[in-house]
Amino acid sequence: MLIISIAIDENKGIGYKGQLPWHLKEELAIFKKNTIGKNIVMGQTTYDNLPRRLKDRHTVIVSADKNYTTDDPEAEVTYDLISFLKEHENDEEEYIICGGASIYRQSYKYCRKAYISFVKGSHEVDAWFDTFEMEDWNVVRKEEYEDFIYTELERKKSIFVTGCTGYIGSHTCVELLSSGFRVIGLDNFSNSKPEVLDKVKQITGKEIKFYEGNMLNRELLEKIFGENRIDAVIDFAAYKAVGDSVRKPVEYYTNNVSSVLTLLSVMKEYNVKGIVFSSSATVYGDKNPVPYDETMPIGNTTNPYGTSKVFVEKILKDLYDSDNSFNVCVLRYFNPIGAHESGLIGEEPNGIPANLMPYITKVANGELDHLNIFGNDYPTPDGTGVRDYIHVVDLAKAHVLGVNKIIGRKGGYLVYNLGTGHGYSVLDIVNAYMKVNNVNIPYVIAPRRAGDIAECYANAAKAKEELGWQAELTLEDMCRSSHKFIMSLRNKGE
Ligand code: UFG
């Protein structure tokens, strides 16, 4: 929950002096009744001016501040806000308060994690309550103050997305752009195509501010951070083929670990302290029992790709331990499949696919003649491997929630599983794909693949509870959209 309090300052003679932008005391009475600690109803003008994503997602409290008398409704609202904050003093929540000075004097001590933004003179100031000298604040002129509130609330937050044209990166960019974020993207097209940028624009009507290059290139990162006011980073850029990683460990560790160190060091330099990291269920290794939950130890990975994800998680944790003002959100993906419903973006690996769904789609479109099912003698209901398949669009939406969770927060280290909590076998997937798309997928049973485990699925409760996220799309949606994407590529001859 994010609480925004828009405070009206008494302003020592200038400014509102008791006039509220929404004027009506009656409205304040309504605020008081409907706002404190709830999703809100507030002054119509103010409410209309708030961006949708704030209205949808956050609890917003409007408050007023004056030299209170008990019959002053503004004062009552403020007092209620303060008692609300006091009651929730020990919550893990963040409180954002925008507005004039006096409100802070009243409420700051209850907002341990509060972050403030306001206008001081002609300068916009961001500060944490516990680091700012309260008594120093200047009075803010009404116009600046009003402008400030709306500008700050409506200012599009900018997210730097590494690996923005990849499979999960591109779907996440679509969701970010559709949710009102600006996206600054980086990719070197090592496993994606430049056309994805146009397709994202076709879907959203909005453009990624794109930089081509490698995340190991520190100068390029410095240029990007220098040219953009970045609010948070989502780091997707990595190699991800398990088999390849066994053959090329040095390349994998360089690309997946060294590059993150470069990124983190530039983030530190530019004081950007929010990062959502693309991790994997593979970090649970082969010793934990299913379903995996976030409290389980990580490690015992069976290949350098998996180990690279464990290393980065540990680096991020060490970073957070060294500086608690960092906001880290680690997302552990289970098995993302499916494609955007437009059929414009989806998974397009180079060469023969290593993963199940891209392989099935290439059998479906005739590029490959049959699927090899790796083992039918696992201790699972039908003997084939069981995984937690999750629609990539659901996954992408979780990133938007992850970013919303960390932006403006004072600091935290969060880890979430992103899965459905439900396992399907290889045969379940093949059968669903054939049925939904009315195609035949010939298959043969082949020997087990080295390094595979029988079952892997998530306990997905924590993401539901804390991020308010759960997978909504079905296995049928995953099979239908994957097929639509591969067939649209074939039709366009791509
Ligand atoms: N499978 C086949 N035939 C194929 C490909 C896969 O039968 O041609 C089977 C596998 O044996 C497994 C299931 O389909 O039982 C899923 O295999 P994938 O390769 O699609 O996915 P994995 O579960 O092996 O790996 C995926 C990601 C990894 C990640 C891991 C986390 O590819 O990056 O999930 O558990 F680390």
Q: What is the mean pLDDT of residues 8-33?
A: 35
* Strands 274-280 vs 232-235: parallel, antiparallel or unpaired: parallel
Q: What is the mean pLDDT of residues 341-362?
A: 93
Ligand 1 site-directed mutation target among 236, 256, 312, 355, most atoms within 8 Å of CB:
355
For residue range 128-147, what is the model confidence (pLDDT) as tens digits? 332 222 333 333 333 344 44
Ligand 1 site-directed mutation target among 337, 372, 374, most atoms within 8 Å of CB:
374
* Ligand 1 atom at minimum distance from 359 CA: 8
| Structure tokens that stand for 207 in this block | 């453009």
Least confident stretch, 153-157, 232-236, 381-385, 408-412: 153-157
- Determine contact, residues 306/242, Cβ cutoff 8 Å: yes
* Ligand 1 atom at minimum distance from 385 CA: 15
Phi-psi region of 383 (alpha: psi -120 to 50; beta: other; left: phi over 0): left
- In b/e form, how buried is each residue of 296-332, taking b as 16+ CB within 10 angstroms? bebeebbbbbbbbbbbbbebbeebbeeeeebbbbbbb
pLDDT(124) > 70: no
Residue 334 CA to ligand 1 center (angstroms) comes to 10
pLDDT grade for 85, boundaries at 50, 70 and 90:
low
- Determine contact, residues 128/96, Cβ cutoff 8 Å: no
Q: Which residues, 6 or more positions from 428, have their beta carbon under 8 angstroms from its beta carbon?
A: 382, 475
Residue 338 CA to ligand 1 center (angstroms) comes to 14
How many angstroms separate the CA atoms of 80 and 142, rounded?
24
| Structure tokens that stand for 52 in this block | 């949708």
SS3 category, 50: coil
Q: What is the pLDDT of residue 154?
A: 52
Which residue's CA is the nearest one to ligand 1's atom 21?
Answer: 355
DSSP character string of 98-133: EE-SHHHHHHGGG-TT-EEEEEETTEEEEEEGGGS-
Q: Which residue has the tokens 């699972």?
A: 380
Nearest to 303, CA basis, from 247, 237, 220, 246: 246
Q: What is the mean pLDDT of residues 213-227?
A: 94
Largest CA distance in the chain: 82
Nearest to 50, CA basis, from 19, 18, 5, 95: 5
For residue range 394-406, what is the model confidence (pLDDT) as tens digits? 999 999 999 989 8
Residue 350 CA to ligand 1 center (angstroms) comes to 16
Residue 342 CA to ligand 1 center (angstroms) comes to 25
* Ligand 1 atom at minimum distance from 451 CA: 24
SS3 category, 416: strand
Which residue's CA is the nearest one to ligand 1's atom 29?
Answer: 282
pLDDT grade for 410, boundaries at 50, 70 and 90:
confident
Residue 430 CA to ligand 1 center (angstroms) comes to 13
- Is 305 an annotated catalytic residue? yes
* Ligand 1 atom at minimum distance from 448 CA: 11
Residue 332 CA to ligand 1 center (angstroms) comes to 15
Residues of the chain with pLDDT > 70, as a percent, come to 68
Q: Which of 292, 305, 389, 416 is catalytic?
A: 305
For residue range 241-284, what is the model confidence (pLDDT) as tens digits? 998 999 999 999 999 999 999 999 999 988 899 999 999 999 99
For residue range 437-466, what is the model confidence (pLDDT) as tens digits? 999 999 999 999 988 899 999 999 999 999
SS (H, E, C) 195-260: HHHHHHHHHHCCCCEEEECCCCCHHHHHHHHHHCCCCEEEECCCCCCHHHHHHCHHHHHHHHHHHH
For residue range 288-328, what is the model confidence (pLDDT) as tens digits? 999 999 999 999 999 999 999 999 999 999 999 999 989 99
Helical pair 304-322 and 259-269, crossing angle rounded to 10 deg: 20
pLDDT grade for 10, boundaries at 50, 70 and 90:
very low
Ligand 1 site-directed mutation target among 246, 287, 305, 356, most atoms within 8 Å of CB:
356
On average, the pLDDT of the chain sits at: 77
Q: What is the pLDDT of residue 111?
A: 32
For residue range 370-382, what is the model confidence (pLDDT) as tens digits? 999 999 999 999 9
- Ligand 1 contacts (CB < 6 A) are 240, 242, 280-282, 306, 335, 354-356, 359, 371-374, 385, 387, 426, 449, 452, 456
Which residue's CA is the nearest one to ligand 1's atom 24?
Answer: 452
If one compares 85 and 191, the residue with the highest pLDDT of the two is: 191
How many angstroms separate the CA atoms of 386 and 375, rounded?
11
Model's pTM, two decimal places?
Answer: 0.75
Which residue's CA is the nearest one to ligand 1's atom 33?
Answer: 240
If one compares 101 and 81, the residue with the highest pLDDT of the two is: 81
Which residue's CA is the nearest one to ligand 1's atom 2?
Answer: 373
Q: What is the mean pLDDT of residues 337-345?
A: 97
pLDDT(330) > 80: yes
Residue 257 CA to ligand 1 center (angstroms) comes to 22
C-alpha to C-alpha distances, 328 to 90, 232, 234, 315, 491, nearest whole angstrom = 21, 10, 10, 11, 42
- Determine contact, residues 125/118, Cβ cutoff 8 Å: yes
pLDDT(419) > 80: yes
* Ligand 1 atom at minimum distance from 309 CA: 36
Which residue's CA is the nearest one to ligand 1's atom 30?
Answer: 282
Q: Which residue has the tokens 């029992």?
A: 289
Which residue's CA is the nearest one to ligand 1's atom 6?
Answer: 356
If one compares 402 and 61, the residue with the highest pLDDT of the two is: 402
C-alpha to C-alpha distances, 380 to 155, 387, 423, 428, nearest whole angstrom = 51, 11, 10, 12
Residue 452 CA to ligand 1 center (angstroms) comes to 7
Q: Where is 87: in which H helix or E strand?
A: helix 73-87
Which residue's CA is the nearest one to ligand 1's atom 3?
Answer: 373
Q: What is the pLDDT of residue 479?
A: 98
Chain centroid, CA 274 distance in Å: 10
| Structure tokens that stand for 234 in this block | 């989502």
CA dihedral 211, 214, 215, 219 (to 10 degrees): -70
| Residues written for the chain | 494
Q: Which residue has the tokens 């298959």?
A: 443
For residue range 106-122, what is the model confidence (pLDDT) as tens digits? 443 333 333 333 333 33
For residue range 165-209, what is the model confidence (pLDDT) as tens digits? 999 999 999 999 998 899 999 999 999 999 999 999 999 999 999
pLDDT(22) > 70: no
Q: Which residues, 6 or more positions from 458, have their beta carbon under 8 angstroms from its beta carbon?
A: 281, 291, 292, 293, 332, 334, 388, 417, 418, 419, 420, 421
Q: What is the pLDDT of residue 175?
A: 96
How many angstroms separate the CA atoms of 110 and 114, rounded?
9
pLDDT(431) > 80: yes
Chain centroid, CA 58 distance in Å: 16
pLDDT grade for 91, boundaries at 50, 70 and 90:
low
pLDDT grade for 155, boundaries at 50, 70 and 90:
low
pLDDT(93) > 50: no
Q: What is the mean pLDDT of residues 80-107?
A: 47
SS3 category, 279: strand
